[in-house]
Amino acid sequence: MKRYQYLILIALLAGCKQKKNDANSLEEFQFPQRREINLDYGHLTAFTELDSLKVGDYYRAKVFLAHRHLVYDSDSIEPIIRYQYKDSIPWDSLYNHGTLAEVLNDTAYIKFPVSDGGFRRGSTDRQDWWATIQIPRPSGDTIFYLKHGIIIKK
């Protein structure tokens, strides 16, 4: 009987530790100065820290629906958010095969390293990233689409 009590205690402690790690990993998304991207008639919003980065820096963004209650009012519905960086891809590929973002409380936390696009040293390049927010529904999904550019300095 004591074994089971110890196992339950260990599982509870491990669960608490995981939540602390999640909170610490989200601290980097508390942008002191943020840029707001509003698309899709004000529903889809993203906050980014910078739109101009150097090769090797990490791009970070928070993506969410600003007026979620107008799109869906149930807390049991969790949006599926996918993103893709750099490669120009067809919309259906992003929708079906994009990278799944970590979603907490209806907000996606997106982070990826900025790479060079083969342009020469001392120049700048614009690269894009895309995201979709899919709201699953029995009668058919509602999908919002975002495209945003990043200026990269080499």
Distance CA 49, CA 41 (A): 22
Residue 118 has what pLDDT? 72
CATH number corresponding to 31-153: 2.60.40.1930
Considering the entire predicted model, what is its pTM?
0.66
Considering only residues 33 and 92, tell me which one the structure prediction assigns the higher pLDDT: 92
> Band of the pLDDT at 64, cuts 50, 70, 90?
confident
Tens of pLDDT, residues 88-126? 667 777 777 788 888 887 788 888 888 876 777 777 888
CA 121 to chain centre: 30
Q: In sequence order, what E strands does the chain have?
A: 35-39, 44-48, 52-54, 58-65, 80-85, 99-100, 102-104, 107-113, 124-135, 142-153
Contact 46, 61 (CB under 8 A): yes
Averaging pLDDT over each range in 1-10, 47-56, 114-123, 126-135, which range is the top one? 126-135
Q: Hunting for tokens 């601290």 — which residue is that?
A: 27
> Band of the pLDDT at 21, cuts 50, 70, 90?
very low
Averaging pLDDT over each range in 38-42, 47-51, 84-88, 100-104, which range is the top one? 100-104
